[in-house]
Structure 1
Amino acid sequence: MRFKLKILFLCFAQICASQTVNINQLFIDGEKAYLESDFSLAKEIYTKITLDKPSNKDGWFNLGASKLKLGENENACEDFYQAYLLQDREAQKMIQENCPNFRNGLIMSLNDVEEKPKFLYGKKEYLLVVGNGLNPKYISLLNTRFKWSGIMSKYKGSISILFQINKLNKLDVKIFRISGNQKEAEIIKKEILSILDDLVVYVSAKSGGINVDLWDKWFLTFNFLMVPSR
């Protein structure tokens, strides 16, 4: 348990500079309650944090850790999953260790599924992932669509995205960074999401003939640079 306490302390340290005074105090109180083994109080405090700041992954992680100590494993793993969705990789490990049949086993690793995620383009079906990366065919289609876009063809900057195909055959996308003219950022974001959604037909991974979600996500960075005139 010493290792987990260390994680909780680091989580607190990371948020001190960025959260409000009230949230800071709640983290201090939650840390104190947890260290004193008052896990019910810690649960109550971290619940307040997640209600006030649902985008705070540390709040979700610590709430899950508190519930785990109370023997509420399934509920704890739901909280860890919220932290995972906010890009906390440690949360995935906690779910796999404490809830091996989480959500009836409908979230799996890419290497464990019977059918890997695919996409349909034209009348052909392609694997989304080839080897350790995305299918070059998919990347080529995406680059071509960017060139066709009146909005993206004028954009000068870089974009970083993280995405995966969920069990509903839909794309889950998180845009991490849009550089360049920030006044245009929201327009660029909407255009990217539209392009990704309409590019191909997505087909989720399957196991036992049932669609499943994946732990795996894929990261892409695109650079749209201005070419100097001659």
Structure 2
Amino acid sequence: MPSATKILEFQFNPAHNREPKLPVWLRRKHRQYFFESSRFYPANKTEKPLGNLCLIAETASQDFKARAILLSLARVVRKEYYRFFYPNPADCFKWALEQGNRFLSRQLKQDNNNWLGKINFAALSSRADLSISLAKIGQPPVLLLTNNEVFDLSRSLSQEGLPFQYFSNVIEGEIKPQDKLLLLTQNIFEVFDEEEMLRWLLPTRKPSEIKKIFQQKKPALRQAVGACLIVCAKKPSRWPLSFRKV
């Protein structure tokens, strides 16, 4: 069965390639900033019902432990998501988040708490029937572009009562053909806002059209630091568009 989604990943001035490209003032501004984005696909028939997994993370903390936390958390979520197969793939997503929370809890018990309130992390799984699961830590921008409108899904993931250190609520739902889900770092979201990129992305129907817009906005994006993952829905869904918190 062909993939129901196409995932586009854009990284701008990652840490390993940042120094030669940016002006001195921008290098200083983003010296302590770190981001990471990843997209994973099923490796075999057993994993195929689980679909794809997208992760995006960032921190502006001076503490290198915060960066290590983000990278380790991404490894845990990815490994645990594809570890087992439950009848409902959404349960695999919840399991992965639970293991991610246990990892973070162990860090706190070891007095490794300098990352508290300083990380943004979003996890999104998309499957063959166009069902999705979404969760976050902190305030990473997550947007849904559908029916010529933009919805901020990250606002639906309320974390009241928590110090933004764990995954809590999960959004589950279905998207439609031509819908687009965007996972962004904060810096790239600001560039999107300044350049009105969402207005240009809304009517696009093909990944090639999206890439063309990014090429046109290259002068602004080449000065930015961060990442963007775009999940483009291709295959008809069996259900209407709906989202619910669980």
Larger Rg: 1
- Higher strand content, 1 or 2: 2
TM-score (norm 1): 0.24
Structure with the greater relative contact order (CA < 8 A, sep ≥ 6): 1 or 2? 2
TM-score (norm 2): 0.23
- Higher helix content, 1 or 2: 1
